Amino acid sequence: MAEIKTDRILVRFGELSNKGKNRNLFVRQLIQNLKYQLSNYPDIRYRNQFDRIMIELNGADSDEVLERARHVFGIRSLSPVVVTPMDFELINEASLELMKQEKVGTFKVDTNRKDKTLNFKSNDLNLSVAKTILSQTEHRVDVHNPDIRIRIDVDAEKASIAVKTVLGAQGFPIGVGGKALLLLSGGIDSPVAGYYTMKRGVEIECIHFAAPPYTTIQALDKVKQLAEKLCVYQPRIKLHVVPFTEIQLEIYKKAHPAYTVVLMRRAMMKIAERVMHENKMLALVSGESLGQVASQTLQSMASIQDAMDGLILRPLLTFDKNDIIDVAKKINTYETSILPYEDCCTIFSVTNPITKPKLKIVLLEEAKCELDELIDVAYKSIETTEIRYHQETYL
Ligand code: ATP
Ligand code: MG
C-alpha cells in the first residue's frame, strides 16, 4: 500500500459555532482569515461543512499548514485527516498506518455514521479497526481515558480518519468584532493586551509615541518587532508612529513635575482618539493594569480617560504582572519586550509622580502648557507603515 499521507485538515469551531445568525458571519470570516493566513498555499481548498471546515491540502505540507492554522482565532481544535473510500479493509489499513506513526500508548476508536442507512453499526467498524491495530502494533485499548482517539466519520462513499487533535487558538475570528487601536509601547504589557483583543475577534491597528532623539531608532525597531510578532495572529498590522518630543518638552517645561506623567498620557489619548475616529475604529486598547505604577491607579486612569471621548479597553486591568509575563512568553513577545530600550515615558520620568491626581488640578496644570497646536502638528506628522507576517520570525 502507498504511504498514507494526511491530505486534509479538519477544523472544529469555537464557542460561537451554534449561535443563529452570527454563525454565518463567524464561519465566513473564519474561512477568509484561514485563506489569508495560508495564502502561501494557493492550491488549498476550503469546504464549509456546516459545523466544521475541511481544509483540502492538495499537496501543501500538513504540518506547516497545521502550525499556521493553529494560530487562527475562532478554532477550537484541528485534526489532520486521511480520506479513504468506504471500505472496511481500506479504513483498517489507513488507521493502522496512522497509528504506526504515533507514540505507543492507549487508544479508542470512535466511529460516527453520518449516513444512518449504512448496513453496519458504528461499533462493527470500531471493533474491526481496533482488532487490526491490536494485532499489529503495541498500542492498547482504553475506552475511558485513551491517549489517542481515532475518530472515523463515514458516509456511503467515504471515510475520514483522524488520530491527532491539536488545540486551536480559541476565541473569535479576527474581524467579527470590528477594529480597535492598540497603544503599543516597547514593554511587556501592551503586546499581551493586543493579543487578548484580537482573540475576541477585534482587528487591531497600533499607535506608538516616540520621542526622538531622546528615544532611538532601535527603540522604534523594537516596537516594530513586537508588532511583527503579533502578525502571527493578524498577518498585516498598521503601525502609526507619532513624533511626541515637542509635546513632552512643553509639558516638562511648564507643568509641575508630579503631574507630567498624567499630562503626557492625556496628550497621547487626544492624539490616539483622532487616529481612532479617522480610521473608523471603535475603541482604544491599553496595557494598563490596576495599581502597577503611579499612572495606573483608578484616580490616574480617570484623569487620563477624561481627555478623550470613547471607549478604552484594558484587557489586563486585573492581571498580576507574573501572569502577564507568562502570556508574553507563550505568545513569544517576552524576549523582545525585555530588550533594553528607552520609552518616551522612561526618558522623561520623574521621581515622585502623583498617584491620586485630582482632575481639577490636572486641568490647571494642563492649562499652563500650550498643547493644542503641538498636538495638531504631531497628529499631522504621524507616519504609518504596514507590518507584515514574516515566516522567519517564528522558525
Ligand atoms: P508596557 O509594558 O506595555 O510598556 P507598562 O506597564 O510599562 O506597560 P506604562 O508605561 O505605564 O505601563 O504604560 C501603560 C500603557 O500605556 C501601555 O501598556 C501602553 O498601552 C501605553 N503606552 C505607554 N507608553 C506608550 C508609548 N510610548 N506609545 C504607545 N503607547 C504607550
Ligand atoms: Mg511601558
Helix (H, G, I), strand (E, B) or coil at 53: strand
For residue 311, count other CB atoms closer than 10 A to its CB. Answer: 13
Supply 10's cell numbers: 479538519
Q: Which ligand is nearest to the CA of 345?
A: 1
**DSSP class per residue in 216-236:** -HHHHHHHHHHHHHHTTTSSE
Best substitution site from 181, 182, 188, 189 to test ligand 1's pocket, by max atoms within 8 Å of Cβ? 189
State the Cα–Cα distance between residues 249 and 299, nearest whole angstrom. 24
Q: With respect to residue 278, please indicate whether it lies within any of the assigned structural domains.
A: yes
Same domain, 184 and 126: no
**Residue range(s) defining the domain that contains residue 264:** 179-394
Is residue 330 situated within a structural domain?
A: yes
Same domain, 108 and 194: no
For ligand 1, atom 25, the nearest C-alpha belongs to: 185
CATH number at residue 270: 3.40.50.620
Of 121, 256, 279, the C-alpha closest to 205 is 279
282 and 367 together in one domain: yes
Specify whether 256 is located in the same domain as 128: no
Judgement on whether residues 144 and 209 belong to the same structural domain of the protein = no
In a domain, residue 380? The reply is: yes
Largest CA distance in the chain: 86
Whether 199 and 113 map to the same domain: the answer is: no
Reading the chain (395 residues) residue by residue, the pLDDT tens digits are 556 778 899 999 866 655 677 788 899 999 999 999 999 999 999 999 877 899 999 999 999 999 999 999 999 999 999 999 999 999 999 999 999 989 999 999 999 998 778 889 999 999 999 999 999 999 999 999 999 999 999 998 999 999 999 999 999 999 999 999 999 999 999 999 999 999 999 999 999 999 999 899 999 999 999 999 999 999 999 999 999 999 999 999 999 999 999 999 999 999 999 999 999 999 999 999 998 777 789 999 999 999 999 999 999 999 999 999 999 999 999 999 999 877 766 767 777 888 899 999 999 999 999 999 999 999 999 999 999 987 655 54
Say if residue 111 is in the same domain as residue 257: no
Residue 2 lies in a domain: no
> Ligand 1 test: best mutation among 181, 184, 190, most atoms within 8 Å of CB?
190
347 and 231 within one domain:
yes
Question: Ligand 1 pocket: which residues have CB below 6 Å?
Answer: 183-185, 187-190, 207-209, 286-288, 292-293, 295-296, 343-345
Residue bearing the CA closest to ligand 1, atom 9: 288
Check whether residue 184 and residue 166 sit in a common domain.
no
Q: Which of 197, 176, 177, 194 is nearest to 185 (CA)?
A: 194
Looking up residue 45, the CATH number of its domain turns out to be 3.30.2130.30
Do 343 and 240 fall within a single domain? Answer: yes
Residue 3 located in a structural domain: no
Instruction: State which of 170, 199, 233 marks the end of a domain.
Output: 170
**Which among 31, 30, 28, 55 is positioned nearest to 43, based on CA atoms?**
55
Residue 103 lies in a domain: yes
Among candidate residues 143, 170, 197, the one where a domain is terminated: 170
* Residues 105 and 239 occupy one common structural domain: no
Which of 170, 195, 214 finishes a domain? 170
Q: Are residues 158 and 183 in the same domain?
A: no
- Of 271, 288, 278, 262, the C-alpha closest to 348 is 262
Q: Single out the residue of 59, 32, 388 nearest to residue 234, CA to CA.
A: 388
Number of domains in the chain: 2
Strands (DSSP E) contained in the chain are 8-13, 45-48, 52-56, 75-85, 106-113, 140-141, 148-154, 158-162, 166-170, 179-183, 203-210, 236-243, 283-285, 311-313, 383-388
